[in-house]
Amino acid sequence: MGRVHRYLLSVMRDKGAGYLVLLDPDRLDPRKIKDVGRACQEGGADALLVGSSLLLGDTLDRVVWDLKEVVDIPVILFPGSSDQLSAGADAVLFLSLVSGRNPELLIGQQVRAAPKIRAFGLEPISTAYILVEGGTLSTVEYMSNTRPIPRDKVDVAMAHALAAEYLGMRMVYLEAGSGARLSVPEEMVRGVAGYVGLPVVVGGGIRDPKVARRKVEAGASFVVTGNVLEDGKLTPERVKAFADAVHLGGR
């Protein structure tokens, strides 16, 4: 178990649940990257995720290094492909899209990424990525050419998460998708969290601190927000509202 993974487990233990902010390099003003990092840390985010299902620019490396200059919390890659890697990050979510049947995202991209991860000295955190129907066609659904698990099929999500645990993965990420109209149902979060012994990360469609708290009360170990903090809405106060909801919800 690596340093960042141990840190995340300590956040769960000490705060009940952790709050992660997802930053899309394409959506960041290069002049404001450091300000964004400071705002996230000041507001109480426990770590930063950097990545996207699709990147049009080549700013990922710069974003990572700029963030590392100003924050003490971990900067973790959330890659949409093996090209989205940077030696400046602390760790990488080594994702496998276990909810789909596209071999390229089950093992193909992972084989391409593994040597780079080793060469960069990144800490890999093996994570089962489970796409859940979010009420709209998401970028990750379109790009991955896979179908999400229907919102009412809790047992299907539970079975996928358990298979991931038996395969040796370290975390489960329930994802409604960037810009999702609906977030992952609490019933599904509760079912998966009660069925496996892995930390459960929940992201996509979470636009209100009260919704974030409900995910934690249902059993989420980590809550991720992304789009809701874009377009000038990323302030320490806004981050703190989510962080307090997640941390207090865990208590």
Q: Is the pLDDT of residue 230 over 80?
A: no
In this prediction, residue 249 has a pLDDT band, given cuts at 50, 70 and 90, of low
107-116: average pLDDT: 98
The average pLDDT across 33-58 equals: 94
Cα separation, 191 vs 13, in Å, equals 21
Residues 6+ apart with CB under 8 A from 153: none
Q: What is the pLDDT of residues 81-93, one digit of tens each?
A: 999 999 999 999 9
Which 3 state secondary structure label does DSSP give 170? coil
pLDDT of residue 231: 64
What confidence score (pLDDT) does residue 250 get?
55
Helices (H), the chain: 3-15, 33-43, 60-70, 103, 109-120, 139-144, 154-166, 186-195, 209-217, 236-250
Q: Residues of the chain with pLDDT > 70: what percent?
A: 98
Average pLDDT across the chain, whole number: 95
pTM over 0.85: yes
Indicate the pLDDT class of residue 251, thresholds 50, 70 and 90. Answer: low
- Residue entry with tokens 């979470």: 206
**For residues 82-103, b (16+ Cβ closer than 10 Å) or e, as one string?**
bebbbebbbbbbbbbbbbbeee
Instruction: Give the mean pLDDT of 125-148.
Output: 95
Residue 77 belongs to domain with CATH number: 3.20.20.390
Cβ contacts of residue 100 below 8 Å, gap of 6+? 106, 131, 144, 145, 146, 147
Query: Could you give the number of structural domains in the chain?
Result: 1
Query: Residue 56's pLDDT band (boundaries 50, 70, 90)?
Result: confident
Structural domain harbouring 73: 3-250
pLDDT > 90: percent of the chain: 89
In the block, which residue shows the tokens 């995202």? Answer: 105
pLDDT number for residue 42: 97
